[in-house]
A and B are shown apart, each in its own frame.
Chain A
């Protein structure tokens, strides 16, 4: 009688395990954060940019999908030319930059927003514009939602350069493979 010392797996078992491991690996999420920024308020936008810059620093890739009121963060300025009456009204009533956004609580006609900016400065917190510029410089991917751009009558020329345009599938494609997904 001989005693067989097994030093390796049965090749068929090994092949099966390898195949399963490869399939699982393919399904692992990426080190990525996907955010929807829907809100057009300074405090909420600030939160999204703090998370975005922090995440990139930590080695995560970040994509931000700007939609509806959030799109104001990407505006270059106010443009009324070529818009319908309702679109003009929207353009007049929405902020043209991050710094001009109201706050979500205690805005009091803009006093709250001005106070928050002053208090951020006093506490040496980076300004919202600096955070946005830093996020871009660090490689945060920015995608504007085309459906809300159409609804609100925002042309892509009105938004900052170098951004992507996409829809729900562009977001979900990234979110489904992200470790962190947020709606702000």
Chain B
């Protein structure tokens, strides 16, 4: 996978991860990937729900992890259509 544009959405609460992701998706080229790192556990279903209705991107994968501050993270890979 080519280098993804990264969006740090850690600490953001609903609806901000979605709002920021939309803003970050707009300028990137079709086929490019946006990587969104969030700490909101609700973001997992949020991105799945958005992907269902969106013609803007495709949800490639979602990962769980831990950041350097020990917070649980949810990473979403969005490929722009």
Seen from chain A, the residues whose Cβ lies within 8 Å of a Cβ on chain B are 31, 50-51, 53-54, 56-59, 123-126, 134, 138
Chain B residues whose C-beta falls within 8 Å of the C-beta of A56 in the assembled complex:
19, 22
A125 to B13, CA, bound (A): 5
Known A58-B22, A58-B50; contact A53-B56, beta-carbon cutoff 8 A: no
Cβ–Cβ contact A58 & B13, under 8 A: no
A25 to B13, CA, bound (A): 37
User: Does chain A have a CB within 8 A of B15?
Assistant: yes
The interface bits of chain B over 44-65 (1 if a CB of A lies within 8 angstroms of the residue's CB, else 0) are 0000001001111000000000
A53 to B23, CA, bound (A): 12
Chain B residues whose C-beta falls within 8 Å of the C-beta of A125 in the assembled complex:
13-14
Seen from chain B, the residues whose Cβ lies within 8 Å of a Cβ on chain A are 11-16, 18-19, 21-23, 50, 53-56
Cβ–Cβ contact B12 & A58, under 8 A: no
CB distance from A62 to the nearest CB of B (A): 12
Cβ–Cβ contact B54 & A50, under 8 A: no
Cβ–Cβ contact A53 & B15, under 8 A: yes
Known A58-B54, A59-B56; contact A124-B22, beta-carbon cutoff 8 A: no
Cβ–Cβ contact B55 & A53, under 8 A: no
A59 to B16, CA, bound (A): 15
Chain A residues whose C-beta falls within 8 Å of the C-beta of B22 in the assembled complex:
56-59
Chain A residues whose C-beta falls within 8 Å of the C-beta of B55 in the assembled complex:
59
A138 to B19, CA, bound (A): 9
Cβ–Cβ contact B19 & A54, under 8 A: yes
Q: Which of A54, A58, A126, A134 has the most CB of B within 10 A?
A: A58
Sample of 12 A–B contacts (CB below 8 Å): A50-B15, A53-B15, A54-B14, A54-B18, A54-B19, A57-B19, A57-B21, A59-B22, A59-B56, A125-B14, A134-B19, A138-B19
Closest to B16 in A: A126
CB distance from A29 to the nearest CB of B (A): 12
